[in-house]
Structure 1
Amino acid sequence: MEKQFLLILAFIFLIGLNPASPNETIKSLSTTNAFQKNKSVSRFISQKNFDRMIMSQLQNVRDYKSINVQLSSNIENEKKDTKLTLALSRNTVTPAEEIFTYAVPQYMGYFAQQNIQPKLLYTNGSTAAIQALTSGSADIAYASSLNIAAAIDKGVPIIAFAGLTVRWPYSIAVPKDSNITSIYDLKNKRIGVVSFASASYHDLRATLNHANISESDVTIVPVGAGARAAAALYNRDIDALDSYSDSFNAIQQNGLKLTFLERPQSLEKLFSVTMVTRKDVLQDKPDLLIGFVRAAYKGIIFTKLYPKLALEMGLEAFPQLKNSKPQKTTNKKILNGDGNMSFKHENEAKKSIENILQTMQIALGDSIPKDQNDPTQWGAWLNLPQERWQAVADFAYQAGLTHKKLKVGDLWDPRLMDKIYDYNAETIMRD
């Protein structure tokens, strides 16, 4: 009994640990901070025994998970978990939102605390994610703010209710040796987008509109993201690419050097992926929405503080990120880092833990305040002010995505945000 009690103590005060790499999680643990954070530990166990116990019990993240599950199972919850489906605006697993708003909350027990059992639904872009929402296949969707505006303009009964990104991640890039130097040079060019259902397509339309270039004056080509898009650029199937930040990171990891075109200043107030739901769900199931978002936000904070441990959880939940087998094909020519041409497969970059970690952190960067490392200072950082929502509404209208000028209240209902943020970031690891 005493041993079990000490094990529980070890788990609770593991919050101060900071693993140096996913492959050496335990070897590099520094337990001194965790031990010293609470003087009550010293009444039961010495620093030496505390270190020894953690080293012997927590051999890897799966052991950590099993302890977490074991502790959770000892605390019976009278409420039955409520199932919830989340629609993502992509059709493949990526080291992004599905790690810090799904895998981490799942492993840390944040969803269990809210009595929620979420599952993921992958779709082909923001428009498709919204369609899944309106068809009843999903309860929440992650979709671009512009796509949300376009759908609402058409009378679709949805509403954004919680933020997910604070920046606009889309931009246009060209190969380093391209003679395209600004968005005004895009006329008569072939421009790649993720898909016609993706926010990258709407971003391109808005950019062309700013440059007074008609959509009929360019050729728009859906090329996907990551290595597929890199192949299209290298093979000169396209002259430029409109995509999102972590996709560009994957492209550059494949050795293709890019030049990013200067964005219109009007984009600076924009933001992209946002949590959206049907109006009837917001009205009838507010507690379900509050619980999910609260757990997701905790996952974001955890990932910022402990990115390598969060990545381990992500790889455990989505082993295909690391172990997916490349197809036997040689039709995708990509550059090596040294500039020499070789054949790479679409999933090859994902084999590198460092590359996956970097991609995850870039995606996370779109969801957190810039240059603020202390989550206790973030405040309600994803409760974006009305002026930013107004910028979305104005931009959507100017880009021709909406037929009328929408009001902020047409797009955004923040009534749940105060309750969502009803947690203490300082003690989040002990939740």
Structure 2
Amino acid sequence: MPKIVHSRTSPGNRPVPRIAGFFRRTLVTLVAASCLASPTFAQENPVVIGVSSRSFNPGFSNMWIGIPLGLYGDKIAPSAVGTQGAAENLQLMLSGQVTMSTGTQDVILNAAAEGRRLPVVMPCVYLRGLIHRVSVAPDSEIRSYADLKGKRIGVPTLAYGGVGYLNFATHHVGLSVDDFQLVAVGDGQQAAAALASGEVDALVNADVDVARIQKLGVPLRVVEPPESLQGVASAYVFAFSKPWFEGHKDQAAELLKGMIRAIVVMLENPEAAVRISYFMHPEAIPSGISFDKAVADAVETINIRAPAIEREVGGSNRWCDFPDQGWESFAKMLGIDGKVDPRDFYTDELIAAVNDINEPELRKWARELQVPEGEVAIKSWLAVQKPPL
């Protein structure tokens, strides 16, 4: 592991747990939850989408906007619930309280690398790209990843998924995990303060988080990744409990199709997606700025992330598809190559069904959506929408 330094900006100045310890505690809980799964799945529970966050950030509003827009058709009627993160999301799925979890791949695969194979199947990779960024102050001497040697690098938490990316990417320029220090600095303003004060020399954040920090008035320069990372992609998945999946493949296909339709709508008309999202979750509207500014900022977030969630990404032109080479690189990025093959959890058996959607007409319909003003008007407007499925 890289050398770990605890940031002064960590909540309460408490020590941050080591990554290995975090995953071990998570695995114990998940294994216990998986033991409870079989009795629960004997019942016909409602279809529930588990979101690995409780913020309901419109930047990933595809997780819930498809519900009021009717994008799931008349065969299923899903709901979406927020969770505290990937570990809780996966735990709820294994105990039967969530039907499909999102973004839980790191926990699933790290569990397998620890020798605990969870009863999970991943039939769809919905985000295929490198979303993590190394950013520095504009006048920083750091011009390449090789320049990170001997530097202090700020991350949101030591369990942050970008740590694996950093280790993988710096290996491509001849660095080891002992060549730099990690500092837990939090997100947003905390991270910006750590960089501005010199507490850290660089930050590792997701693409959308870099944009948020810049909107705080903090100038950042993104360091270009090594050329050898061209074509390498992270894999963010939709996952199901295997017992449920084996008995409900038709429902799983319909759920995935609805989710893909929601992605199409969000990409084609991000403003409509944001306005619907804020209607559904007004608690997510940021304070201190106008509503129009909040919408514009969220639209920019979607546009930043869009290249990684389009249909044609990473050598594939089918929704949910992920090539063998992509899985091999992703395993190396997570540091689990030689311990587990992610393809043991992945199946492409539903891809043909999932891609059987009226995409051209759906894109046209999405572009024409105009969300009205006001809660009552939006509710009435949603009730009459008839998307081409």
1:192-231 equivalences in 2 (<5 Å): 192-231=154-193
Residue type matched to 2:354 in 1?
A: I
Q: Which residue of 2 aligns with 1:386?
A: 324
**Contact 2:235–2:330 at 8 Å: present in 1 too?**
no
Q: Which residue of 1 aligns with 2:79?
A: 118
**Contact 2:48–2:80 at 8 Å: present in 1 too?**
yes
Cα pair distance change 1:403/1:359, threshold 3 Å: same
Q: Which residue of 2 aligns with 1:411?
A: 345
**Secondary structure of the structure 2 residue equivalent to 1:173:** strand
Question: How far did residue 317 of structure 1 move?
Answer: 1.3
Cα pair distance change 1:243/1:350, threshold 3 Å: farther
1:401 and 2:336 equivalent?
yes
Question: How far did residue 295 of structure 1 move?
Answer: 0.8
Cα pair distance change 1:310/1:419, threshold 3 Å: same
**Contact 1:82–1:115 at 8 Å: present in 2 too?**
no
CA distance in 2, matches of 1:197, 1:297: 29
1:424 and 2:358 equivalent?
yes
1:60-79 alpha-carbon deviations (Å, 9 max, x no partner): xxxxxxxxxxxxxxxxxxxx
**Secondary structure of the structure 1 residue equivalent to 2:329:** helix
**Contact 1:147–1:199 at 8 Å: present in 2 too?**
no
1:6-47 alpha-carbon deviations (Å, 9 max, x no partner): xxxxxxxxxxxxxxxxxxxxxxxxxxxxxxxxxxxxxxxxxx
**Contact 2:51–2:63 at 8 Å: present in 1 too?**
no
1:267-319 alpha-carbon deviations (Å, 9 max, x no partner): 63213322122222221222332222111111111122222222211111121
Question: How far did residue 235 of structure 1 move?
Answer: 3.3
Q: Which residue of 1 aligns with 2:7?
A: none
CA distance in 2, matches of 1:178, 1:401: 33
**Contact 2:126–2:236 at 8 Å: present in 1 too?**
yes
**Contact 1:300–1:364 at 8 Å: present in 2 too?**
no
Q: Which residue of 2 aligns with 1:107?
A: 68
Question: How far did residue 252 of structure 1 move?
Answer: 1.5
**Secondary structure of the structure 2 residue equivalent to 1:110:** coil
**Contact 2:311–2:317 at 8 Å: present in 1 too?**
no
* Root mean square deviation, CA, Å: 3.0
* TM-score normalised by structure 1 residue count: 0.65
Q: Which residue of 2 aligns with 1:64?
A: none
Residue type matched to 2:209 in 1?
A: S
Cα pair distance change 1:109/1:163, threshold 3 Å: same
1:32-431 equivalences in 2 (<5 Å): 83-97=46-60, 99-103=61-65, 105-111=66-72, 113-124=74-85, 126-143=86-103, 145-154=105-114, 155-157=116-118, 158-264=120-226, 265-266=228-229, 268-322=231-285, 324-325=286-287, 352-369=294-311, 380-393=318-331, 395-396=332-333, 400-404=335-339, 406=341, 409-428=343-362, 429-431=387-389
Larger RCO of the pair (alpha carbons < 8 Å, separation 6+): 2
Question: How far did residue 367 of structure 1 move?
Answer: 0.5
For structure 2, list consecutive stretches of 5 or more residues without a partner in the other structure: 1-43, 363-386
CA distance in 1, matches of 2:277, 2:262: 11
**Contact 1:308–1:357 at 8 Å: present in 2 too?**
yes
Question: How far did residue 389 of structure 1 move?
Answer: 2.3
Question: How far did residue 426 of structure 1 move?
Answer: 3.0
**Contact 2:124–2:348 at 8 Å: present in 1 too?**
yes
**Contact 1:190–1:238 at 8 Å: present in 2 too?**
yes
Question: How far did residue 321 of structure 1 move?
Answer: 3.0
Q: Which residue of 2 aligns with 1:74?
A: none
Question: How far did residue 348 of structure 1 move?
Answer: 9.3
Larger Rg: 1
Residue type matched to 1:186 in 2?
A: L
1:104-132 alpha-carbon deviations (Å, 9 max, x no partner): x02211235332222223233x4554444
**Contact 2:145–2:223 at 8 Å: present in 1 too?**
yes
CA distance in 1, matches of 2:246, 2:222: 43
**Contact 1:146–1:272 at 8 Å: present in 2 too?**
no
1:20-31 equivalences in 2 (<5 Å): none
Q: Which residue of 1 aligns with 2:36?
A: none
The number of equivalent residue pairs is 317
Question: How far did residue 187 of structure 1 move?
Answer: 2.8
* Percent of aligned positions that are identical: 20
For structure 1, list consecutive stretches of 5 or more residues without a partner in the other structure: 1-80, 327-346, 372-377
**Contact 1:162–1:382 at 8 Å: present in 2 too?**
yes
1:168-190 alpha-carbon deviations (Å, 9 max, x no partner): 21121111122222222223322
